[in-house]
Amino acid sequence: MHIQSQIITTIPVFEVSETLKEVIRFFEETTFSHVGVTEDGVYIGLLSENDLACFEEDKKIEDFRFELETFFVTKETSWLDVLEMFSRNEANILPVLDKDHVIIGYYDLEDVVGMFIDTPFFKEPGAILVVATGMKDYSFSEIAQIVESNNARLLGAFITDSQNDVVQITLKIGTQNLNEVAQTFRRYNYTIVFGNSDDQFLEDLKERSDYLEKYLNV
């Protein structure tokens, strides 16, 4: 997926020698989390909206040099790494730099997520299955083989959690019978964390859990 077309150039960039007056106005009039700062046209960091309460109109950006955050991406950064950068820095905007560290524009989180939602992972009909296994015990080639051995299509797969050497992998599978796929994963020693309701094992587990909860609440 090529996201370079989503680079926007309508968001300002401020020079470190400027006062904070326009920066304050920018944050008050938008919902963006950050804005880029340059020195002689070269990127040096980002001012954060979280510091807005500390800003005074007559002070210069220079006074906050040591508060600048320094994350960024380039045109060559993959869309998955762009999403990771948004998440890691709790930002909704990312500066995009060229090879000379000049800001050529920004990525807006809403635009990037919109492109992600338009991918087959979301748009094509299918079932969601979340499996868990040891960090060292899985391979995407094996996961694809398990899915395809049940005459199903693997539309996408992402690692969505990783704790204590256990990974959770979310799968989008094109199939009418998720139960057969889930049972095959169990035979390969994967744990089923979540699956659609046609997985009878999950239904049985839910019924027993509901019964136990009612029993404990008596």
Task: Write down which residue in 97, 116, 135 finishes a domain.
Answer: 116
Give the pLDDT score at 84. 85
Q: Which residue has the higher pLDDT, 135 or 20?
A: 20
The number of folded domains in the chain is 2
pLDDT at 73: 96
Q: From start to end of 42-181, where are the E strands? A: 42-48, 73-74, 93-97, 103-108, 127-134, 153-163, 166-174
Domain boundary among 90, 116, 142: 116
pLDDT tens column, 122-171: 777 888 889 999 988 888 899 999 999 999 999 888 887 888 889 999 89
For residue 210, the model assigns a pLDDT of 57
- State which of 87, 116, 145 marks the end of a domain: 116
At residue 72, the pLDDT reads 97
Residues 79-108 have pLDDT tens digits of: 878 988 998 999 999 999 999 999 999 999
CATH of the domain at 82: 3.10.580.10
Residues 22 and 75 both lie in one domain: yes
**Mean pLDDT, rounded, for 48-66:** 95
User: Do residues 140 and 154 touch, judged by C-beta distance below 8 A?
Assistant: no
SS3 87: helix
Residues 83 and 13 occupy one common structural domain = yes
Residue 218 has pLDDT above 50, yes or no: no
Confidence at residue 198, expressed as pLDDT on a 0 to 100 scale: 46
Amino acid at 131: V
Higher pLDDT among residues 96 and 192, named by residue = 96
Is residue 67 domain-shared with residue 170, that is, in the same domain? Answer: no
Average pLDDT of span 28-47: 97
Judge if pTM exceeds 0.75: no
**Residues of the chain with pLDDT > 90: what percent?**
57
pLDDT at 188: 93
Q: Is the pLDDT of residue 214 over 60?
A: no
Q: Provide the pairing of β-strand 34-39 with 153-163.
A: unpaired
